[in-house]
Chains A and B, each alone.
Chain A
Amino acid sequence: MAATRSARSDGLLIAAEGLDGSGKSAGLDALGRWLERRGRRVHLVRWEPSRSVARAAVAPGGRQALTPRVAALLAASEAAGWMGDEVRRPIARGDVVLADRYAWTAVAREVARGLEPGWVAALYRFAPCPDLVIFHRQEPAAALARALATRPSPAGAEAVSAAYAAFLERLMAVYDRLLVDDDAGPWPVRSLVLDPRATATERVDAIRGRISPLLDAARSAGGG
């Protein structure tokens, strides 16, 4: 596979993956500042939930037509649309692209919604392979407590809680598989797992420890 790894330029792609509220955004912000202090240009991209799927859900007749597979394909198409400007071109010009959620999260969501794991993994092979995936481990119970705490109203919280807890468990099962099985994801990729019990300093050290050699390797490969 023609990857976007540092062999092409001194650009890099680092993806942060994990459940909501696991510390991905804060971790990437800190990493971005550190990279900029080292003189690297940073491009941050947030893989937000698909707008096309949200629009389809409210279109007349959209609810019936919006099955898991159709939703997955609309979301993937939208991602393919911004992948050039937000990932490929910044890497090609030598930026460090930091992705706040990337293909692992997309794969985990679609598989948790019941689609075939092999088909979903192949679907996202259009996304450039990251140089490193930083996986922010978080227990589903902690993610659920956080999600419920941020709900504006307690109405129906119990039913939501039961359904969402099951969904989070399924998501976590897919992430666990992605961590150990190259065939479960779009591409084989190096990963770093961050323990939720680690202190902020330990997390920062772990991330910098893994990224420093990548920066050096990319720089020599890019001739910079």
Chain B
Amino acid sequence: MMAGAMIGTDPRVPGAQPARPGAHGEPGVLFVLEGIDRSGRSTHVRRLEEHLRYAGRGVTRTSLASALLSGDRIRAAKRDRRADPVETALLYAADLAERIEQVVLPSLRAGLVVIADRYCWTPMARAEARGVDAGWLDALFGFAPAPDAVLFLDVDPEASLARRPDDPDPYEAGLDLGLSADVRESYRLFGERLYACFDRYAGPAAFTRIAAVAPVEDVGQRVLRAADAVLASRSAARVGRLAAGRSG
């Protein structure tokens, strides 16, 4: 039995409510880029950061599994095929909690733009696709402030597999689940599970879906346009508040 199957769904748990974009209430802006492996995420994170810096914005970038106290342990768990998926999900939550407290919130308070290369949804999908209860995962990651926008690079597993000739990482291919002995076939099958999870998170978390099968320049333009639209609406809201403050 999967460890996660021990956990029941409880509708009362905190964090089960949909995240409200911009609900963190800080002056900065939090962008999250999500997407399965090989969706072009790293490229677009880099391009978005450059774009924002050229536009004169202060930018902080934070990446999955880079926290001081849990990064190494996550990498060890990914190498261990017998690692318990609940244990790994909790390590990812420790990683995100540390980065939110040490990087994300201080940067948002300082008015910076934070780009998170994956947030709670990748670890949630990786755990859920391994049988961990979705309601428990929602509650576990309920501490994470809602981003201003989640830019979801939408590419199906088949297409993402065709992007590179090298074999996928065994953990990201879900090889530990025994879906197939062939790492590419396992990646495709596991990727379908991951994709279904992201598809379900997309509504409540108000993902901005960006079709990522197009040429990289086109996808890049869509990412930048989506980010610029969010920044413009935040600026407009700030101007509106200032105007209301002066007339009041």
Does A116 belong to the interface (CB within 8 Å)? Answer: yes
A contact residues, range:
20 to 34
Q: Specify the chain B residue showing the minimal Cβ separation from A56.
A: B69
Does B59 belong to the interface (CB within 8 Å)? Answer: no
Does A34 belong to the interface (CB within 8 Å)? Answer: no
Does B98 belong to the interface (CB within 8 Å)? Answer: yes
Does B226 belong to the interface (CB within 8 Å)? Answer: no
- Mask, B1-12, CB within 8 Å of A = 1, is 001111110101
Q: Chain B: interface secondary structure?
A: helix
Binds A, one of B28-36, B37-45, B84-92: B84-92
Q: How far is the CA of A62 from the CA of B72 in the complex (A)?
A: 14
B6 touches A2 (CB 8 A): yes
Q: Report A177 CB to chain B, min CB distance, Å.
A: 16
A126 touches B3 (CB 8 A): yes
Does A147 belong to the interface (CB within 8 Å)? Answer: no
Q: Report A34 CB to chain B, min CB distance, Å.
A: 28
Q: How far is the CA of A76 from the CA of B84 in the complex (A)?
A: 12
Does A84 belong to the interface (CB within 8 Å)? Answer: yes
A73 touches B13 (CB 8 A): no
* 8 Å CB interface, A71-111 against B: 73-74, 76-78, 80-81, 83-84, 88
B102 touches A69 (CB 8 A): no
Residues of A within 8 Å of B143, CB to CB, are: 69, 119
Residues of B within 8 Å of A114, CB to CB, are: none
The listed residue (A1, A69, A84) touching B3 by CB distance below 8 A is: A84
Find the residue from B84, B94, B101, B143 having the highest chain A CB count within 10 A: B94
Binds A, one of B134-142, B157-165, B183-191: B134-142
Residues of A within 8 Å of B15, CB to CB, are: 119, 122
Residues of B within 8 Å of A77, CB to CB, are: 70, 73, 87-88, 90-91, 94
Residues of A within 8 Å of B139, CB to CB, are: 119, 122-123, 125
B6 touches A122 (CB 8 A): no
A125 touches B8 (CB 8 A): yes
Does A173 belong to the interface (CB within 8 Å)? Answer: no
Q: How far is the CA of A73 from the CA of B101 in the complex (A)?
A: 14
Residues of A within 8 Å of B68, CB to CB, are: 59, 61-62, 65
Q: A65-B69, A70-B69 are in contact. Are A122 and B97 (CB under 8 A)?
A: no
The listed residue (A67, A78, A81, A123) touching B140 by CB distance below 8 A is: A123
Residues of B within 8 Å of A64, CB to CB, are: 102
Q: How far is the CA of A2 from the CA of B97 in the complex (A)?
A: 29
Does A4 belong to the interface (CB within 8 Å)? Answer: yes
Does B14 belong to the interface (CB within 8 Å)? Answer: yes
Does B194 belong to the interface (CB within 8 Å)? Answer: no
A122 touches B5 (CB 8 A): no
The listed residue (B5, B70, B90) touching A80 by CB distance below 8 A is: B90
Residues of B within 8 Å of A140, CB to CB, are: none
Does A148 belong to the interface (CB within 8 Å)? Answer: no
B90 touches A76 (CB 8 A): yes
The listed residue (B5, B7, B73, B102) touching A125 by CB distance below 8 A is: B7
The listed residue (A1, A70, A88) touching B98 by CB distance below 8 A is: A70
Q: How far is the CA of A42 from the CA of B81 in the complex (A)?
A: 30
The listed residue (A59, A69, A74, A183) touching B101 by CB distance below 8 A is: A69
Q: How far is the CA of A18 from the CA of B6 in the complex (A)?
A: 25
What residues make up the interface of B, taking CB atoms closer than 8 Å to A?
3-8, 10, 12-15, 67-70, 73, 84, 86-88, 90-91, 93-94, 97-98, 101-102, 136, 139-140, 142-143
User: Which 9 residue pairs spanning A and B have beta carbons closest together?
Assistant: A1-B8, A77-B90, A73-B94, A122-B139, A80-B87, A80-B86, A81-B87, A122-B13, A56-B69
